[in-house]
Chain A
Amino acid sequence: MIELKNLSKSYGEHRVLERLNARVHAGEFVTLVGTSGCGKSTFLKMLLGTEGVSDGQLLLDGRQIPDEPGPERGIVFQKYSVLPHLRVIENVALGREFARSRLLGRLFGARRRAAMDEAGQWLEAVGLADARYKYPHDLSGGMQQRLAIAQALMMQPRILLLDEPFGALDPGIRKDMHRLVLRLWSRHQLTVFMVTHDISEGFYLGTRLWVFDKLRHDPHAPERFGSTITYDLPVGRDHPELREEIDQSLTLSRQRLAVA
């Protein structure tokens, strides 16, 4: 479904990603880990369509991925994903209103009620049914992320992109969110890409773990070489030794970066 062929990204002289090659099938759950600045978020933005491809190809169903965001790719950011001026249920129904009212983006009467009913079902699926008439600022961080997920799933996207979605949450709430995401992923056969800081999250969630790191380092010009996918592992259960090994290799590159 998704194919990377010698995919590279650079900003002028600064190479961020170098020659990425991979193939992802529908239904896979890929988690992306790496040090900060390793390009994993840049890769997610390329999938999203807010960053262009510099070299090579990024294909969705054999075709170049569109260069702007669209309804076939849902997104949940770490924050600012929900619209503060709309009530919870209106946030979720907005996608339907866009689809069914091209001119105004607003439905009335029975069509509006139908969209709201549908939105209500998604709110139930993420456990927000009781908060449907609240404004986002009345919700906790975890609830706001649940809302952002419901909002994205309402569109039934082919790919769901998660950009450190639980990075700002407390550990207990993060566990709940993991369970929720896994449940929704298996029930709706989603294809998920998730960027995370937390390697154990990468092992626990998902079917496949990608580690972004630099293979070559030039201590005098750190921006000369970009990152690539250094580990591409099938996961699903924890592998303590492997996790230790990746952790060490990332710590090493972090130290090298700090020295440079």
Chain B
Amino acid sequence: MKRWINKRPGRLQKVALGAVPFVLLIALYQWGSDVRKADNPADKLLPSLSEMGAAVDRLALTASKRTGERVFWQDTASSLKRLSMGIGIAALIGLLVGLLTGAIPLLGASINPLITVISLVPPLALLPILFIVFGLGEVSKVVLIAIGVTPFLARDIYQRTLEIPAEQLVKAQTLGGNSSQIIQRVLLPQVLPRLLDAVRLSLGAAWLFLIAAEAIAASDGLGYRIFLVRRYLSMDVILPYVAWITLLAFLLDWVLLWLSRQIFPWYHHAK
């Protein structure tokens, strides 16, 4: 018999093996829910799948009587807007700072200690300050995400810039390039796909900051909703929302990877 370390799954087998834990988890949940419902039909802790379906139907498919909006989609749109604005601002600043400090040693010597200190400040500890300075509106939430993610992106891009082989920089100089031309034509294009990589890695933190900010002060958003219905023990709403957030996070990551492959084929082929 072949050793276990040499057995590899076929394609179909791989999918099946990957699905097993999910199926088991859902079955376990269903069983737990059934047991509790048998004990107390009004149990709220482990709602049945049909109850969750009803909640989704109520929030996603039926317009609210008060405002005429579909709450679920409204929450999704608000959260995604905050998230993408925060990440977008962070990516732009992180790219500029990381690229320039990596390319120009004198600038790096001046800016890097500051970035190191900033990156050590826990962003959530700054949230009260942001609420005081920017109020409870959209700005403070976007700024929290941006502040939380920018230092990581800037430091990562700084490292990636330094990793570009020195031979390329020498070569570009023998082609007559000045500093600005070399930054634009040699460093920037090679750092961009690495920026997308870094953004994908920072998405987890960005979601954390988003939900934290929404939980504390907001009038809509995915994080706002789950913290709101917590008061009524509405697990039938919270669980689908959590699943939805997970799916969105997965899709966002996948879209960024797909984009990177489309725009930077040379980067993915060379790896």
| B-binding residues in A (CB < 8 A) | 48, 50, 68-71, 73-75, 77, 79-86, 94-95, 97-99, 101-106, 135-138, 148, 151-152, 154-155, 157
> What sequence of 0s and 1s flags, for each residue 161-180 of chain B, a beta carbon within 8 Å of any chain A beta carbon?
00001011011111111101
Chain A interface, DSSP helix/strand/loop, else mixed: loop
**Residue of A86, A98, A106, A151 with most chain B CB atoms under a 10 A cut-off:** A98
Q: Is the CB of B175 within 8 A of A85?
A: no
B180 smallest CB distance to A (angstroms): 7
B76 smallest CB distance to A (angstroms): 36
Q: Is the CB of A106 within 8 A of B170?
A: no
Q: Is the CB of B171 within 8 A of A151?
A: yes
Give chain A residues whose Cβ lies under 8 Å from the Cβ of B175. Answer: 71, 94-95, 98, 151, 154-155
Q: Is the CB of A84 within 8 A of B190?
A: yes
Task: Decide yes or no: A137 and B174 within 8 Å by CB, A83-B168, A105-B185 being known contacts.
Answer: no
- Comparing B4-12, B44-52, B248-256, B259-267, the segment that makes contact with chain A is B259-267
Q: Is the CB of B181 within 8 A of A105?
A: yes
How far is it, in angstroms, between the C-alpha of A152 and the C-alpha of B168 when the chains are bound?
A: 12
List 30 A-B residue pairs with CB atoms under 8 Å apart, sorted by A's residue number: A69-B174, A74-B174, A75-B171, A77-B170, A80-B165, A80-B168, A81-B171, A82-B171, A83-B186, A84-B266, A85-B189, A85-B264, A94-B177, A94-B185, A95-B175, A95-B176, A98-B175, A98-B176, A98-B177, A99-B176, A101-B181, A105-B177, A105-B181, A136-B266, A137-B270, A138-B269, A152-B174, A154-B175, A155-B175, A157-B174
B215 smallest CB distance to A (angstroms): 42
B184 nearest CB neighbor, chain A only: A105
Apart from A83-B186, A102-B178, list 14 A-B contacts with CB within 8 A.
A48-B174, A68-B173, A69-B170, A69-B174, A75-B170, A75-B174, A79-B167, A80-B167, A82-B171, A84-B267, A86-B189, A94-B177, A137-B266, A155-B174
Q: Is the CB of B170 within 8 A of A50?
A: yes
How many B residues have CB within 8 A of the partner chain? 26
Give chain B residues whose Cβ lies under 8 Å from the Cβ of A148. Answer: 171
**Residue of B165, B167, B182 with most chain A CB atoms under a 10 A cut-off:** B167
How far is it, in angstroms, between the C-alpha of A151 and the C-alpha of B261 when the chains are bound?
A: 27
Q: Is the CB of A70 within 8 A of B165?
A: no
Give chain A residues whose Cβ lies under 8 Å from the Cβ of B177. Answer: 94, 98, 105
B182 nearest CB neighbor, chain A only: A105
- Which of A71, A82, A85, A104 interacts with B174 by CB under 8 Å? A71
Give chain B residues whose Cβ lies under 8 Å from the Cβ of A137. Answer: 266, 269-270
Q: Is the CB of B185 within 8 A of A106?
A: yes
Give chain B residues whose Cβ lies under 8 Å from the Cβ of A80. Answer: 165, 167-168
Across the A-B interface, the 5 shortest Cβ-Cβ residue pairs: A105-B181, A95-B175, A80-B167, A71-B176, A69-B173
B27 smallest CB distance to A (angstroms): 47
**Residue of B171, B175, B176, B269 with most chain A CB atoms under a 10 A cut-off:** B175
How far is it, in angstroms, between the C-alpha of A103 and the C-alpha of B264 when the chains are bound?
A: 24
A75 nearest CB neighbor, chain B only: B174
Give chain B residues whose Cβ lies under 8 Å from the Cβ of A152. Answer: 174
B125 smallest CB distance to A (angstroms): 40
A13 smallest CB distance to B (angstroms): 25
**Residue of A82, A85, A94, A103 with most chain B CB atoms under a 10 A cut-off:** A85
Give chain B residues whose Cβ lies under 8 Å from the Cβ of A103. Answer: 180
A94 nearest CB neighbor, chain B only: B175
How far is it, in angstroms, between the C-alpha of A257 and the C-alpha of B182 when the chains are bound?
A: 41
How far is it, in angstroms, between the C-alpha of A22 and the C-alpha of B170 when the chains are bound?
A: 26
Give chain B residues whose Cβ lies under 8 Å from the Cβ of A79. Answer: 167
Give chain B residues whose Cβ lies under 8 Å from the Cβ of A77. Answer: 167, 170-171
Give chain B residues whose Cβ lies under 8 Å from the Cβ of A151. Answer: 171, 175
How far is it, in angstroms, between the C-alpha of A104 and the C-alpha of B178 when the chains are bound?
A: 10
How far is it, in angstroms, between the C-alpha of A71 and the C-alpha of B170 when the chains are bound?
A: 10
How far is it, in angstroms, between the C-alpha of A102 and the C-alpha of B269 when the chains are bound?
A: 31
Chain B residues 159-218 with CB under 8 Å of chain A are 165, 167-168, 170-178, 180-182, 184-186, 189-190
Task: Decide yes or no: A85 and B167 within 8 Å by CB, A106-B184, A135-B269, A137-B266 being known contacts.
Answer: no
B189 smallest CB distance to A (angstroms): 5
Give chain A residues whose Cβ lies under 8 Å from the Cβ of B173. Answer: 68-70
**Residue of A77, A105, A152, A154 with most chain B CB atoms under a 10 A cut-off:** A105
B63 smallest CB distance to A (angstroms): 49
A193 smallest CB distance to B (angstroms): 13
Q: Is the CB of B185 within 8 A of A81?
A: no
Q: Is the CB of A85 within 8 A of B266?
A: yes
Give chain B residues whose Cβ lies under 8 Å from the Cβ of A95. Answer: 175-176
